[in-house]
Chain A
Amino acid sequence: MEIAFFIITALLTIGAAVAMVLSHNAVHSALWLVLNFFGVAVLYLLLNAPFLAMVQITVYAGAIMVLFLFVIMLLGSEQGQEEVNGLPWQTPVALVMGLLLVVMAGYALFFPGTPVPTTQTPNEIGAPDILARKLFSTYLLPFEITSVLLLVALIGAVVLTMKSREGDRV
């Protein structure tokens, strides 16, 4: 039952990802990517990580993708940004190498040299309170640094997009 649900979700996620890469319209790509993010969120739930699933939906599918859509529409570059192709032969090479990577990973995963311990019983480690305790004790310093990082990104984004006044141009 669980396996079937997993497979359906996984196929949906993969399908959304493939559609994202293949779409000619950037807005469509973004929407396919949102679907993909939702699929991953569902998988997080399956993996007993409800908090992360919610973060995934709010931050990724919500905030980040809205930003993407906003920029696409601001620049008006939904379509027609693919005319120039400096490396036409790169597509087949990329496909072959991607296939190689998947085959390698599959081989390594399903035919391991040393036996891997079986999956343990489901547990509650993903509960928000456990996560929060860990985050505000062991990982307090990285957590604070992350906040500084976000501030820097905020300032950086503002500076980069600010319209410079005449004479300021370097």
Chain B
Amino acid sequence: MVPTEYYVLLSTVLFTIGVIGVLTRRSALVVFMSVELMLNSANLALVAFSRQWNHVDGQILTFFVITVAAAEVAVGLALLVGIFRTRRTTNVDEVNTMRG
């Protein structure tokens, strides 16, 4: 029996790696993948908590998160394609028109 703490710590580590990916990579696709990684880490923690409290709700929530992630990926990638069409790049640092 692996203690829940281990799972949560693993989840934190994965989440942190995802955050570092978002903060350091400039390729919009990799940034997006890092976001997916963060979502996964959160799912892992949810499922672990679900076992800890012997409750199915955590798994149900994970199920929903996966669905929403699918929708998000579809729209997000469509946006990326749109940006690429006009800017010819997927580097997020080059998309800074909103600079004050």
Contacts and interface: CB of A to CB of B under 8 A. Distances in A.
B54 A84 contact: no
Contact of A84 (B9, B36, B50, B93): B93
**Chain A interface, DSSP helix/strand/loop, else mixed:** helix
Interface residues on A, range: 35 or more
Contacts of A71: 29, 77, 80-81
B13 A102 contact: yes
Given A82-B26, A153-B72, A30 B50 contact: no
Interface residues of B, number: 73
Contacts of B73: 64, 67-68
A14 B14 contact: yes
A2 B51 CA distance: 16
A63 B70 contact: yes
A109 B9 contact: yes
Contacts of A109: 5, 8-9
A102 to B, nearest CB: 5
A14 B8 contact: no
Interface in B66-98: 66-75, 77-82, 84, 89-91, 93-94, 96
A125 B79 contact: no
Interface of A: 2-3, 6, 10, 13-14, 17-18, 20-21, 23, 26, 29-30, 33, 36-37, 40, 43-44, 46-49, 51-52, 55-56, 59-60, 63-64, 67-68, 71-72, 74-75, 77, 81-87, 90-91, 93-95, 97-99, 101-102, 105-106, 109-110, 116, 119-120, 122-123, 125-126, 130-131, 134-135, 139, 142, 146, 149-150, 152-154, 156-158, 160-161
